[in-house]
Structure 1
Amino acid sequence: MMVSKERPPISAEKRAQMLEKSLAVFVERGYVGASTDELAAAASVSKQTLYRAFGDKEGLFEALIRTECDRVYDPFAPLVEEMRDVESAEAAIRRLAEQSARLIMSQRVQQLRRLVIAEATRFPALGELYWERGFVRVSASLAQCLTVLDERRLLRVPQPALSAQQLAGMLLWIPSNRTMFAGIAQPMSAGELADVIDAGVAAFVRAHR
């Protein structure tokens, strides 16, 4: 009588490797275009291992987006206390603006945005998850920073949540969308981004004096 050998569980490291390697494949090929053969080859595993870990391609994609949403770094949470000591409104808003640009303009965040937008109809729950853990959470921390500046009377910010959204939109609407849709043909230079930040900081501070 043959006794089947029980296969060892897939390690967390192996799962992480498959998720990491799948990102590049999904970005390049899209969800529909990415085959399980390509996904397995990119991670240097067999298709059977991929299926054992995630069930199927849909399971892998969902796990990838959920993992990336958990990784989304909130650049403003550590700055709430810093806002209590900053010397001027201009210095404070510039610090927040530069943090915004560093987050949104990063290659990984841009890749994730493209994926989520492209597949939001197919995976609406993942689109909502990205919205809540990305935009909503980060915007709330930015609003906290603005609340501190209001309490210190460096700026007048009666509606910090709305002002946080306006600041982020004013600074990053053009740079982010240009990078997403025309980044290869028309990459934004560091100088151009600095000009956008300078103008945005000046306009925001002027409006909230």
Structure 2
Amino acid sequence: MADLTEIDPISRTDRKRAAILDAATEIFLHQGYLGTSMDEVAAQAAVSKQTVYKQFASKEALFVAIVTSMTGAAGDVVQREIADMGELDDPEKQLLAYAERQLLVVLTPRLMQLRRLVIGEAGRFPELGRALQEGGPGRAVAGLSSALARWTDRGLLSIEDPQAAASHLNWLLMGEPVNRAMFLGDAAIPGPAALRRHAAEGIRVFFAAYGNRARQTP
């Protein structure tokens, strides 16, 4: 019987790349950027160091790939319904569900560890900060802006600048709990019930500012 890895060398390469990313993610998160060596990544991924460098030209490139992968996966969960959200009725209900999902996904120990690592290295490697910004807050604000603009067009919200309003909502929701977790550690991450209460209060404040008052008047 033919060796499937010989028939499909691309899938074999993909498996090696995934193994390298998985191994490197664990090492980076536990040992930090400076404490991680490409030799250790190769050993944990069960590949040669040459294979690691064939996939990733440098330790920085590997770390950027990890940041992009982790933020992309988290963003996919948060953004899974946002493309069509502006076409739905009851924006308050839709945004509350979005807010709860965003808080529960982003405020996990692994993503907070990643954020701390990126901030620590962003001065030397601005690509890291850019990858986190674009894949995290930047993507969230862009998706929200599109939905808010559509709801405004439909007369369900009253917003002059959807981009600014999306930024206000994003940081109204994320600012306090993210800063608390960043500064005080994983033990300070609120539990699911507390995050849902925080989401509800944030959405209430947002609609006090941007709700369509003409529609709300009896």
With the shorter chain as reference, the TM-score category is: 0.7 to 0.9
The letter of the residue matching 1:101 is L
Which whole-Å deviations, capped at 9, do the CAs of 1:66-104 have from their partners, x for residues lacking one?
444554525346334233232x34313212312322342
Question: Would the aligned equivalents of 2:169 and 2:202 in 1 still touch at CA under 8 Å?
Answer: yes
The aligned length equals: 201
Cα distance in 1 between the residues matched to 2:30 and 2:114 = 12
Which portions of structure 1, spanning 4 or more consecutive aligned residues, are displaced by more than 6 angstroms?
none
Cα distance in 2 between the residues matched to 1:78 and 1:108 = 23
Taking a change above 3 Å as real, the CA distance of residues 12 and 178 of structure 1, as seen in their structure-2 partners, is same
Equivalent residue number for residue 190 of structure 1: 192
User: 1:81 aligned to 73, 78, 84, which one?
Assistant: 84
2:121 is equivalent to residue 124 of structure 1:
no
User: 1:205 aligned to 183, 204, 207, which one?
Assistant: 207
Matched residues, percent identical?
35
Segments of 5+ residues of structure 1 without an aligned counterpart are 1-7
Query: How does 1:1-209 map onto structure 2 within 5 Å?
Result: 11-68=13-70, 70-71=72-73, 73-74=75-76, 75-76=78-79, 78-86=81-89, 88-209=90-211
SS of the residue corresponding to residue 171 of structure 1 reads helix
Segments of 5+ residues of structure 2 without an aligned counterpart are 1-8, 212-218
The letter of the residue matching 1:85 is L
Cα distance in 1 between the residues matched to 2:83 and 2:62 = 36
Shift of residue 36, structure 1, vs aligned partner: 2.7
Identify which range, 15-24 or 64-73, moves more after superposition: 64-73
Cα distance in 2 between the residues matched to 1:66 and 1:188 = 25
Shift of residue 171, structure 1, vs aligned partner: 1.0
The alignment's TM-score, normalised by the length of structure 2, stands at 0.78
Taking a change above 3 Å as real, the CA distance of residues 82 and 131 of structure 1, as seen in their structure-2 partners, is closer
Identify which range, 110-119 or 188-197, moves more after superposition: 110-119
The letter of the residue matching 1:92 is Q
* Structure holding more helix per residue: 2
Give the alignment's Cα RMSD to 1 decimal: 2.6
